[in-house]
Structure 1
Amino acid sequence: MPAVEQYLKPEVIRQIKRLDLRAQFIVKGYLQGLHASPFHGYSVEFSEHRKYTQGDDPKDIDWLAYAKTDRYYVKKFEAETNITGWLAMDLSRSMAYSHGPTQRGKLGLTKFDYSICIAAALAYLMIGQQDPVGLAAFDQKIRHSLPPKSKRTQLATLLALLARLQPTGETDIGGSLTQLAAMLRHSSLVMIFSDLLTDEEPVLKALRRLRHGGHDVILFHVLDEAEVKFPFRGLTDFEEPETGERLELDADGFRAEYRASVEEFRETYRRECLESGVDYVPLDTGMPFDRALTEYLVQRRRRG
């Protein structure tokens, strides 16, 4: 069996069928490596104590405080302040794309599967921290929604819904995010998972609306590894996933232009998100999962 850190690798996670186990292994692999990162101390620094109550983890009892007071206290972590999280999942047909084996020869996840793994891990983290988390899945509009809760049963409900989702529709990311903004009644942390393969301006406008509504936003821009690195050779037949339009071209002659376009695509979102106060996280399906979890952790520390 691979070392725990191996579960941060998409090609390993792909071999695990159950989504709840994928989430657990990703989080455990991440937390195991956390002690060596700049975030060491995230789970051990505390600003005050509170009385132990039923349901608290006995491991959090401060035995030094007990020795002094003869009462049970637990450490109240600096990041214990609850936040409300929303996972916003793009169900557009293009999210089902996977080129197949990665350049390292390992079987890759689709963009949607990769996003689902991250979303499941974030839900596992948030509910473990007693933060309410909900879900909105959209294509041309929001098709499924689950109100945020922090109960342990919420994790099973949320993971079951995630596991049933299929990316099959056409997309209206801007309209769907605007619909989500109208649903939010409290300041929330909105975590968006999409390949953003649509017109940019409606999406950017919707992101600004979320920010103006007082919400924090993390935009996980998920592309397939092949969409970023363009490993194709010779005459290649390409198909547009949502329209079915086909195009044959010389991949070798097109590679430099294509890569420049992808970089410009990402740079536009990076620049606009920075100006709007949105955290932009470019990912591809060959990348380990720890980058996404680190962005969540950074954001949570800000709000804590």
Structure 2
Amino acid sequence: MTQYLDPETASRLGRLDLVARLVVEGFITGLHRSPYHGFSVEFSEHRPYMPGDALRDLDWKALAKTDRMYVKRYEEETNLKAYLMVDVSGSMAFADGDRMTKFRYASCLAAALSYLMLRQRDAVGLVLFRDGLVSFVPPRSVSSHLSVLLRELTAATPEAETSMSPAFHDLAERLSRRGLVVILSDFLDDADDVLSGLRHFRHRGHEVLALQILDPRERDLDFRRSDTRFIDLENTDGASITTQPWHIQEAYRERMEALLARYRRGCAEAGVDYVLLDTQTPFETALSRYLVRRRRLG
């Protein structure tokens, strides 16, 4: 089962519902062999009866079995409200060769996170964004909500330009109750603007998990071809440049590493949990970091 933690293996399953279930089941199977052994991935559907609770909410079957009084948990009493923000801008469509695109990786990971959160009885919502908010699915904690989230992900197409900051500021102002915001993006945008948006979430009391997803070639520009055409995926005019990659490789790597260092430093200063992934990184890396963040929230 743990083989489905490999992105390429999971992606070949096709349907996101299969990906979500098998990735999470593989993750749980592997937990006992990992440093995260002992982490709970289940939460009770009940809580102890308290004076003032309506008797109609009492679970009589539980009372008969345990001789203890419990009431059923309702959706508004859910453990956590989580919001998955998925970047659907044009740059997310990139993939080198036959690799999966960044958007496909983000979709599979978002599907797995949704499945895991709902399994924990947490409420999860979905936000798609480009240069602003594209769609918003409010969080719910019922298991049937998974199909709603996956339909939205499946229908999405990465296109057009990125401007992350307006989407972050807009959502930060919309969310009234504190929760967990998980962002899945390549973060190929102005770092200062992005970090300003992340700080806005923190200022509003939200926990933030930033998952930066890149293709391996975007980090090293290690293309073996001679003349290579680079196309701006977010420019509707189809702007491009043809060059020999090794002529610009060193300067490119320096700028890319500077950008990543800026995000690492800025997120640490803001109290944002930052994780750098590429499309070959096993899904368990992000799922484990989510569990760590979730445990801190109680």
Contact 1:228 1:284 in 2 (8 A): no
| 1:240 maps onto 2:229 in alignment | no
1:168 corresponds, among 155, 159, 168, to: 159
| Distance in 1, Cα, partners of 2:190 & 2:107 | 23
Contact 1:238/1:246 (<8 A) preserved: yes
Give TM-score, length-normalised by structure 1.
Answer: 0.85
Taking the TM superposition and a 5 Å limit, the aligned residue runs for 1:138-287 are: 138-233=129-224, 234-243=226-235, 244-287=238-281
Paired residues for 1:18-33 under 5 Å: 18-33=15-30
- 2:258 aligned partner, one-letter code: E
Q: Distance in 2 between matches of 1:21 and 1:278?
A: 31
Does the 8 Å contact 2:213/2:277 carry over to 1? yes
Contact 2:42–2:120 (8 Å) recurs in 1: no
Q: Which residue number in structure 2 is paired with residue 85 of structure 1?
A: 82
Correspondence for 1:43 among 33, 40, 43:
40
Aligned in 2, Cα 1:30/1:235: closer, same or farther, shift over 3 Å?
Answer: same
DSSP-derived class of the 1:87 partner: strand
Which stretches of structure 1, 4 residues or more, deviate above 6 A after TM superposition? none
Counterpart in the other structure of 1:11: 8
Please name the residue that 2:102 is paired with.
111
Alpha-carbon offset, residue 230 of structure 1: 2.3
Aligned to 2:284: 290
Q: Structure 2 vs 1, CA of residues 188 and 51 (structure 1 numbering), >3 Å: closer, same or farther?
A: closer
Name the residue aligned to 1:104: none
SS of the aligned residue for 1:152 comes to: coil
Deviation at 1:169, TM superposition (A): 2.2
Kept after mapping to 1: 8 A contact 2:86/2:184: yes
Name the residue aligned to 1:122: 113
What stretches of structure 2 of length at least 5 have no aligned partner? 50-56, 71-76
Q: Secondary structure at the match of 1:26?
A: helix
TM-score, normalised relative to structure 2: 0.86
Cross-structure match for 2:54: none
1:20: how far off?
0.4
Could you say if the C-alpha distance between residues 44 and 249 of structure 1 is closer, same or farther in structure 2, counting changes exceeding 3 Å?
closer
Shift of 1:163: 1.0
SS of the residue aligned with 2:209?
strand
Within 2, Cα distance between the matches of 1:92 and 1:125? 26
Q: In 1, are the aligned partners of 2:186 and 2:212 still within 8 Å (CA)?
A: yes
Shift of 1:36: 1.2
Unaligned segments of structure 1, at least 5 residues: 74-79, 102-107
Percent identity over the alignment is 45
One-letter identity of the residue aligned with 1:9: D
Partners in 1 of 2:47 and 2:234 — Cα distance? 54
Question: How many equivalent residue pairs?
Answer: 280
